[in-house]
Structure 1
Amino acid sequence: MNEGRTFVSALSFSIPMKQIKEILNIALPAMAENFLQMLMGIVDNYLVAQLGILAISGVSVANNIITVYQAIFIALGAAVTSVVSKSFGEKDASALKNHARQAISVTIILSLVLGLFSLICGNKILTLLGTETKVSAIGGLYLAIVGGGIVSLGLMTTLGSLLRAIGKVRFPMYVSLLSNFLNAVLSALAVFVLGWGVLGVASATVISRLLGTVILMKRLELKPHHFLPQFQIDKDLIQIAFPAALERLMMRAGDIVIIAIIVKFGTKIVAGNAIGEVLTQFNYMPGFGVATASVMLTAYYFGQGNPAEIKKSVQSTYYISVLLMGLVSCSAFLLGHPLGSLFTADKNVLAASQTVLLFSFLGTPVSAGTLIYTAAWQGLGKARLPFYATTIGMWLIRIVLGYFLAVHFHLSLAGVWLATLADNAFRHLFLYSLYKRYLNDLFSTASSREDEKN
């Protein structure tokens, strides 16, 4: 108990209250927005489940592809936050406007490509994934509508990032809340009153996001001509967005391989792992919110040429994310059995889910470190390093080590999650050590400039 008090006291002492408020002012709305996006998926899945097994199977498979799209737009959103926050810190209004226009243009072009892919190839992709003909037809319809209208999700993400970067951190959260409420009402109306089934649920998702996009447009005072595609290349934006998107895709691809390893241990282990991951996604929500603050503050102070504030903000966001993530992951672990019982009564499945919850809790410090130092590097405009770290960590540590621990050393699911912990530990240390060296260089540069002035 004394150790816990000491930790909290040290945290309070090392982070000024003003800075805590500054970080939480950005992080809490971002957390709420992440939760609302998750809630939209939960509402859709619940309503689709009322239509039968074929419907939920088709939509579930289609959503795996939509999740990849979402990961790409989140990476683009991080890049937008970084470059716009940096221009905001530099007080460069011209660069800020240019980055905003280019961000919107890249979002629209990317959305058109992904939308056409969904419309033309969606059904074929689901068939290639091994789904039954009827499941592919239902999933293909959902993917054609939600994927074909993916511009609504892309623009909501990018416009929300623009608003956060200029200090309007709460408005995107309010828009997400309205969008979720509208989606729930329209989806329920489509399923229970109009009988439109999957078509209605998918259409409601796109319509609610389009309304959110219009509201964000008006808040940013954007005109129709701002949405005309521009084929100029914003190097600053692309240098962050492209590696960040690749890093997210590398994680997604690696997750598929990890599932292939877990499948070897039987259906009950797979089910337990799935339940555990459903519960642990809440563990990361505070970390993602605080990481958003880390990107913004790092880029802002980098634009001001202030390495001392960069150091303080990154250190503070790390401590806060460890504390918040630790509280959530500890609660999830302690409540794991009753929460897991909501999904199943099978003891073997529940035991497997507890394994996931345990390792997620134990890995909190390194998971937080991976999130925060990835965000810091994105804020510094150098997103390649997190991409390298994720590629090495996922494919050489998590997958290779996980396979040997789980299969050859017979550790089963525990072996996979030991390797996951090792992967996060590697990425945390790798990104932190290089960040520390880079920060020292920034201090040296700032000191030299001061000497020249004097």
Structure 2
Amino acid sequence: MKIYKDILQIAMPVMAENFLQFLMGMVDSYLVSHLGLVALSGVAVANNLITVFQAIFLALGGAVSVILASLVGRQQSAKLAHHATEALKLTILISLVLGLLTICFGRLFLLFLGAEKAVAHAGGVYLVLVGGTIAFLGLMVTLGAILRSLGKSQLPMYVSLVSNLLNALFSAVAVFVFQAGIVGVAFGTILSRLIACLILLRSIPFQFSKPSWKLDRELIRLALPATGERLMMRAGDVAVVAIIVSLGTAVVAGNAIGEALTQFNYMPGLGIATATVILVAQARGSHDEKRIREVVRASYLLSLGLMLLIATTIFLFSGPLSGLYTDDSLALEASSLVIVFSLLGSPTTAGTLIYTALWQGLGKAQLPFYATSLGMWFVRIGIASVLIFGFKWGLVGVCLATILDNFFRWLFLSVYFQKYTLK
């Protein structure tokens, strides 16, 4: 059917880009694992804070996609340069604030999460370097969103490929040749992102307008609830990590290994969710409610099928893959649990991703914000705390609570969509 072709035309390059982004994290984790469990745990905890920052930029990128795709749907391309310029300006402002906060308080935050001093020291070094230069990641996300909204989905994919190859090369040389340790891995990430930003910037097919001193109200209106939703999600993830830290360094490391591997499970869902945002925004711009419902149904079926395929593959090869990182029995056991529950939770994860994208594409990101706030803090963290500290279920409690959270959010968003009528 044409609807599946339209989705995959946007989603496939995004999937490849997500795959490459996940591969960058996997390469970093693999290189850091050669420095010991303390280094691996430190970088894992630090990356949880960096993913909070990334969530902010992804929310902003989603808002940019909604605005630009809606303009394309209404054939109002004259306004593209203005909104693109405002998006870059806002990205830079947010990056400066986050970078300064990371440099000043990053290491203290890791200690606040309950990390041991050695783990906090190792993670703090990585966090200050990568988090302090978070602007490069932010610009990559925003520039990629601009290009995808203009129908240039493949270009960000190619740039990600170049960036990942450079990251692997720079980091490996730094670790194995110059013995630069965590600092070397961090600089490999920074340099590869800088080069990617420069390539993407030169690829924008129009001249940016002169930036104003005012902020784009429409962009802020769309970005704020989406940012709130992402922050609730990532802040909740940080809280979950703080719970996992109480289970010991080996469990933290095993959870990090499992998450590094299962990130590939979510790759199709994230790519199709990006396509869903753009196609729904375009359909909204042309007032085509039937098209919106077709996109949602097809997007869920595609994401579920592809996610199950990858999750099953990761599960079947989980032993050898986890063994690449460590031979610690407790860490391997924790990694295995994360992989199994990721496979079991694929249907609910796909539902949450697609229906969140649906409401963002409709310009109503408030609903995902409410769903995530309730699901993360009351369902996931609440149930996980009870299962771990009350029933002593350990990491199993966290994994089970994650599935229940995704089911709750999927149900919440889908019920509201059944009542939705395009106005």
- Asked if Structure 1 and Structure 2 have the same fold, meaning a TM-score greater than 0.5 normalized by the shorter chain, the answer is yes
Which shows bigger deviation, 157-166 or 126-135?
A: 126-135
Distance 2:275 2:296 in 1: 9
Distance 2:122 2:244 in 1: 28
CA contact (8 A) 1:108 1:229 kept: no
Matched ranges for 1:22-421 at <5 A: 22-49=6-33, 59-126=43-110, 128=112, 139-193=123-177, 197-221=181-205, 226=209, 230-262=212-244, 272-343=254-325, 350=332, 352-409=334-391, 411-421=393-403
Distance 2:184 2:323 in 1: 32
**Structure 2: gaps spanning 5 or more residues:** none
Q: Structure with the greater relative contact order (CA < 8 A, sep ≥ 6): 1 or 2?
A: 2
CA contact (8 A) 2:30 2:324 kept: no
Are the structure 2 counterparts of residues 382 and 186 from structure 1 closer, same or farther at C-alpha, using a change threshold of 3 Å? same
Are the structure 2 counterparts of residues 365 and 103 from structure 1 closer, same or farther at C-alpha, using a change threshold of 3 Å? same
Task: Return the index of the structure with the highest Cα Rg.
Answer: 1
TM-superposed deviation, 1:30: 0.9
Are the structure 2 counterparts of residues 333 and 208 from structure 1 closer, same or farther at C-alpha, using a change threshold of 3 Å? closer
Are the structure 2 counterparts of residues 350 and 389 from structure 1 closer, same or farther at C-alpha, using a change threshold of 3 Å? same
Distance 2:45 2:328 in 1: 25
Distance 1:30 1:307 in 2: 25
Give the TM-score taking structure 1 as reference length: 0.83
CA contact (8 A) 1:36 1:176 kept: yes
TM-superposed deviation, 1:232: 2.1
Per-residue deviation, residues 51-97 of structure 1 (Å, max 9, x unmatched): 66776565444433322211211111111111111111111123322
What SS class does the counterpart of residue 86 from structure 1 fall into?
helix
CA contact (8 A) 1:106 1:229 kept: no
Distance 1:323 1:222 in 2: 38
TM-superposed deviation, 1:291: 0.5
Are the structure 2 counterparts of residues 209 and 272 from structure 1 closer, same or farther at C-alpha, using a change threshold of 3 Å? closer
Are the structure 2 counterparts of residues 282 and 83 from structure 1 closer, same or farther at C-alpha, using a change threshold of 3 Å? same
TM-superposed deviation, 1:274: 4.2
CA contact (8 A) 1:87 1:303 kept: yes
Are the structure 2 counterparts of residues 277 and 119 from structure 1 closer, same or farther at C-alpha, using a change threshold of 3 Å? closer
Which shows bigger deviation, 336-345 or 246-255?
A: 336-345
Which of 20, 29, 46 is the equivalent residue of 2:4?
20
Which shows bigger deviation, 308-317 or 192-201?
A: 192-201
Per-residue deviation, residues 16-61 of structure 1 (Å, max 9, x unmatched): 1x22222112111111111212222333344445566776565444
Distance 1:96 1:186 in 2: 36
Letter aligned with residue 368 of structure 1 = A
What SS class does the counterpart of residue 91 from structure 1 fall into?
coil
Are the structure 2 counterparts of residues 313 and 92 from structure 1 closer, same or farther at C-alpha, using a change threshold of 3 Å? same
Distance 1:238 1:312 in 2: 29
TM-superposed deviation, 1:388: 0.4
**Percent of pairs identical after alignment?**
52
1:435 maps to 2:414: no
Give the number of equivalent residue pairs.
423
Distance 1:419 1:54 in 2: 27
Question: RMSD of the alignment, in Å?
Answer: 3.0
CA contact (8 A) 2:261 2:314 kept: yes
Distance 1:35 1:23 in 2: 17
Distance 1:150 1:264 in 2: 29
Letter aligned with residue 237 of structure 2 = D
Letter aligned with residue 428 of structure 1 = W
Distance 2:296 2:271 in 1: 14
Per-residue deviation, residues 268-309 of structure 1 (Å, max 9, x unmatched): 655554443333222111111110111110011111111111
What SS class does the counterpart of residue 381 from structure 1 fall into?
coil
TM-superposed deviation, 1:116: 2.3
**Structure 1: gaps spanning 5 or more residues:** 1-15, 446-454
Are the structure 2 counterparts of residues 126 and 391 from structure 1 closer, same or farther at C-alpha, using a change threshold of 3 Å? closer
CA contact (8 A) 1:89 1:301 kept: yes
Give the TM-score taking structure 2 as reference length: 0.88
TM-superposed deviation, 1:323: 0.7
CA contact (8 A) 2:129 2:186 kept: yes
Are the structure 2 counterparts of residues 196 and 230 from structure 1 closer, same or farther at C-alpha, using a change threshold of 3 Å? farther
Are the structure 2 counterparts of residues 311 and 151 from structure 1 closer, same or farther at C-alpha, using a change threshold of 3 Å? same
